[in-house]
């Protein structure tokens, strides 16, 4: 059991959770979090937002019963962390961009600890959050779009490596933009699929890929954009 240090609302329904004690993790990996005994049955997969010394942070949006229970956690409460799981981001080559939609911005903050000069594109449907933190974390440019389509701001030919995370329609659009632009960049999508076990045993997180079905938790959550069938 780990201990909640803080659980702060940063926008309506969006919380930044700091927990003491963790087993490390690479950029793009996730933990399975649980703050209850038996019900709801499943733990919730949440991306690593940041790690410093013995503190790990998560950014999550209240989207159901489990995350609603997380939102009621207070300093000193116990929480169970299992992980880190999944394949994180590979090291980029050349000029790099991160494109995040909504809560999909979360894994890029920790990634900027290693890749400090990436351009960052943050798209929000209504309320923005963590923008100042991203501006401080990168020496590259930060672009913000609220209520529009963040992908319209991105020149896909200006980068060698592009990482994206957000809702499936956005990731599908990334795949289309890659084809339309003829971009030679290596483009990765990080999938936020529903998960149950988190370790490749249950198939709940199945992803259709060009060479068959894969598991978001164990084979991903990061995939090359071109290999996923949306
Ligand atoms: Fe069980 Fe991925 S969550 S196989």
| ipTM tops the 0.90 cut | yes
> Ligand 1, closest atom to CA 45?
3
Q: What is the DSSP letter of 53?
A: T
Domains of the chain: 2-85 (2.40.30.10), 96-227 (3.40.50.80)
The model's pLDDT over 127-180, given as tens digits with 9 standing for 90+, comes to 999 999 999 999 999 999 999 899 999 999 999 999 999 999 999 999 999 999
Ligand 1 center from residue 162 Cα (angstroms): 26
pLDDT at 117: 93
pLDDT at 125: 95
- Whole-number Å distance between alpha carbons of 225 and 219: 14
Residue 76 has pLDDT above 80, yes or no: yes
Q: Which of 199, 214, 219, 220 to mutate to test the pocket of ligand 1 (most atoms within 8 A of CB)?
A: 199
> Ligand 1, closest atom to CA 200?
4
Taking residue 6's Cβ as centre, other Cβ atoms within 10 Å add up to 14
> Ligand 1, closest atom to CA 194?
3
Provide the pLDDT confidence category of residue 85 given band limits of 50, 70 and 90.
very high
User: pTM for the whole thing?
Assistant: 0.94
Residue 41 has pLDDT above 90, yes or no: no
- Whole-number Å distance between alpha carbons of 155 and 4: 41
Ligand 1 center from residue 150 Cα (angstroms): 30
pLDDT at 38: 80
| Residue nearest (by alpha carbon) to ligand 1 atom 4 | 200
Residue 218 has pLDDT above 80, yes or no: yes
């Amino acid at each position: 059991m780990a201990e909640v240090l803080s659980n702060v609302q940063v926008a309506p329904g969006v919380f930044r959770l700091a927990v003491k004690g963790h087993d490390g993790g690479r950029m793009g990996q996730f933990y399975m979090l649980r703050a209850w005994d038996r019900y709801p049955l499943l733990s919730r997969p949440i991306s690593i937002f940041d790690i410093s010394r013995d503190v790990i942070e998560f950014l999550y949006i209240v989207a159901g019963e489990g995350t609603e229970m997380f939102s009621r956690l207070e300093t000193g409460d116990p929480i169970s962390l299992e992980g880190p799981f999944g394949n994180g981001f590979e090291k980029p080559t050349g000029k790099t961009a991160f494109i995040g939609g909504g809560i999909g911005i979360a894994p890029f903050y920790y990634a900027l600890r290693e890749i400090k000069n990436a351009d960052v594109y943050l798209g929000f449907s209504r309320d923005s959050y963590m923008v100042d933190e991203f501006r401080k974390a990168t020496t590259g440019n930060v672009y913000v779009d609220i209520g529009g389509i963040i992908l319209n701001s991105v020149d896909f030919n200006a980068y060698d490596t592009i990482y994206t995370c957000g809702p499936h329609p956005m990731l599908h659009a990334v795949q289309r933009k890659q084809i339309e632009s003829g971009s030679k960049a290596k483009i990765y999508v990080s999938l936020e699929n529903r998960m149950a076990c988190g370790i490749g045993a249950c198939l709940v997180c199945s992803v259709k890929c060009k060479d068959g079905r894969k598991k978001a938790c164990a084979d991903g959550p990061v995939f090359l954009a071109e290999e996923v069938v949306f």
